[in-house]
Amino acid sequence: MSGRRAARVIFGRELASVARSRTYLLLFVGVAAVIVGIATVGGGTEAGYVPTAVDLLLPLELLVPVVAFGIGYRSIADDVQREELEVLNTYPVPDWAYVGGVYAGRAVAVVTTLAVPLLVVGVLIWLSAGPDTTIVATHRGIDSPVLFGRFISLTLGYALMVLAVVLALSALASSRKVALTLAVVGVGGIVVGLDLLVLRGVGAEWIASDTLVTALAASPASAFRGLVFETVLYVAFDAETGYASPIANAFSLVSWTLIGLSAAAVGVSRR
Amino acid sequence: MSDGPILRAEDLDHSFGDVEVIDDVSVGVEAGDVTAIVGPNGSGKTTLLRLLAGLLTPTAGSVAYLGPDAEREIGYLPQRPTFRPGFTVYETIAFYEALVGDEPGDLLEQVGLADAANRRVEALSGGMTRLLGVAQATVGDPPVIVLDEPGSGLDPGMRRRTFEVVRDLASGGTGVLLSSHDLELVERTADRVLVLDRGAVVADGSPEQLIEEYAVDSIWDVFEAAITGSAETVDVVGVPR
């Protein structure tokens, strides 16, 4: 009971911290400008939902980790540096409640920062796209807001996964500088590092071609990309499927999220 | 005075790497008593307090809380209390009170900070921040309160007020354990004084007992007689004299 209460109280404080920060407001404005800018300048908003998703996919692979990094990397490290975590240890606050509260509060900020501009883009497409764009996809081959809704959901899922990893790195850091370094390395690993590792594995032949799809799922960026390809972009084309395993990719994102949160709780408990 | 200690530490050792900071310390905290730990800089006071507050695991020995069931068993004021910026004094103390299921009460009045309730914590002076830390340590009425230098950085009036708050807490049945360099206030407030030198307890008793035992006039004289290092240099644990 006290654990749930603690998680709720800490969630409220995180939310208030984020809402009062001008830095996060600036981050939101910047991210919104980038997302809406790419969608409109690239002409995707006039072409439809799926073309816009194509335009946004690659930039979001980079932007999503940057947003999660910006919002999460100091969250626990600052509490450690201020010795607040030590004080909280004298309260009925289980480690899971602390991590859960911090994660939930920061997750609201991450989701808001990404979802609002993406929804604005969705509205822009609805207002400006051609007559082929329909409200609901009833069969394959139709551009649809449902597909764009899937794209937004997958983007947010990817963001929440990266946030969990960033939180774990923040919990392991002994200072704000170390947190920054760990977060940069971690985000780099998520954005390109694990993909390169898989490519290296293919080149060195310790990843066989028949296990490549599964191996790619282990990389969060590949898992996100694969899910977008299989459930958003290639829905219209029967022949263009099987490049990624949706189940393995979804499992990968969920696993990375749980691993991140567990590692954060372990990091906090070792303080 | 109570029937027995509500916090008991036995044969505590603590090392940071090869450096032994606490050496075979045993101490009990009684309900309703103020126990003061005094000693030179670097003598291990903060480490001992953190061990007793359960924030460090001893290398050897044990710490046991023996008091009544409580939502929060031990309150703690760190040596350099810092609070999350962007929140007012009132919001900060309300946050901690919410963690134990309490509604915001009169803790700020108790430490003399009621007039600063709407001030942001980053705008507080060092002394006011410490007073907020003292208020935080008392949140949830813990049976034991551990205060690491509660008077540090306060003007003489506020320092005395803080020790009066400590005395009031003990009068209400709380076991208070504190460290301080203000030996005059310690002599006036504490029921028991432990003198710590190079991680070991070198003197232990009530102020009156210690003054009598050392045949001196004050706790300051006891301090001078009990410690072995020079008063002019910091005695570094792990470095031979």
Q: What is the mean pLDDT of residues A94-102?
A: 95
What is the reported pLDDT for B61?
Answer: 94
Strand B144-148, strand B5-16: pairing: unpaired
Is A88 at the interface with chain B, CB within 8 A? Answer: yes
The contacts of residue B110 (CB under 8 Å, 6+ apart) are B135, B138, B165
Residues linked to residue B25 through DSSP beta bridges, in sequence order? B12
pLDDT, one tens digit per residue, over B176-233 is 999 999 999 999 999 999 999 988 999 999 999 999 999 999 999 999 888 876 656 6
Inter-chain CB proximity A83 and B76 less than 8 Å: no
A5 CB near a chain B CB, below 8 Å? yes
Residue B103 lies in a domain: no
Q: Helix (H, G, I), strand (E, B), or coil: what is residue A124?
A: helix
Helices A194-203 and A220-228, packing angle to 10 deg? 90
Residue B160, in any domain of the structure: yes
What residues of B are in contact with residue A89 (Cβ under 8 Å)? 54-55
Band of pLDDT at residue A138, cut at 50, 70 and 90: very low
Residue B98 included in any domain: no
Per-residue pLDDT tens for B128-140?
899 999 999 999 9
Contact A9 B99 (CB under 8 A): yes
Is residue B42 one of the residues assigned to a domain? yes
- Please give the pLDDT value at position A139: 44
Residue B96 to residue A90, Cβ atoms within 8 A: no
pLDDT of residue A134: 52
Q: Quick check: A164 and A267 in contact, CB under 8 A?
A: no
Classify residue A139 as exposed, middle or buried by CB count within 10 Å of its CB (0-12, 13-18, 19+).
exposed
Element spanning A161, H or E: helix A145-172
Q: What is the pLDDT of residue A270?
A: 80
Domain span holding position B207: 5-82+143-226
Query: Structure tokens of A172?
Result: 């392991």
* Backbone φ, ψ for residue B5 (5° rounding): -65, 145
State how far residue B241 is from chain A, nearest Cα, in angstroms. Answer: 32
**Does residue B240 sit within a domain?**
no
Question: What is the mean pLDDT of the segment spanning A150-179?
Answer: 90
ipTM above 0.95, yes or no: no
**CATH code of B181's domain:** 3.40.50.300
The structural domain count of chain B equals 1
Q: Helix, strand, or coil here: B37?
A: strand
| Contact call for A86 and B140, based on CB within 8 A | no
What is the CB neighbour count within 10 angstroms for residue B169? 23
Q: Find, in chain A, the residue whose alpha carbon is nearest to that of B76.
A: A87
CA angle A129, A132, A136 (to 5 degrees): 95
Interface of B with A (CB under 8 A): 50, 53-55, 71-76, 78, 80-84, 86-87, 91, 95-96, 98-101, 136, 139-140, 142
| Tens digit of each residue's pLDDT (9 = 90 or more) over B127-171 | 889 999 999 999 999 999 999 999 888 888 888 888 998 999 999
Q: List the domain range (segments joined by +) for residue A12.
A: 2-269
Distance CA B79, CA B61 (A): 24
Measured CA to CA, the distance from residue B12 to residue B202 in angstroms comes to: 15
Distance CA B85, CA B74 (A): 25
**Total structural domains within chain A:** 1
- Cross-chain residue pair A90–B142, CB shorter than 8 Å: yes
Instruction: Please identify among residues 13-32 of chain A the ones whose CB lies closer than 8 Å to any CB of chain B.
Output: 13, 16-17, 20-21
3-state helix, strand, coil in chain B (%, to 5): 35, 25, 40
Across the interface, do A82 and B83 touch by the CB < 8 Å criterion? yes
Would you give the distance in Å from CA A194 to the centre of its chain? Answer: 16
> What's the rounded Cα separation, in Å, for the pair A137 and A170?
42
> Can you say whether residue B174 is alpha, beta or left, with left for phi > 0 and alpha for psi between -120 and 50 degrees?
beta
CB contact under 8 A, A91 and B140: yes
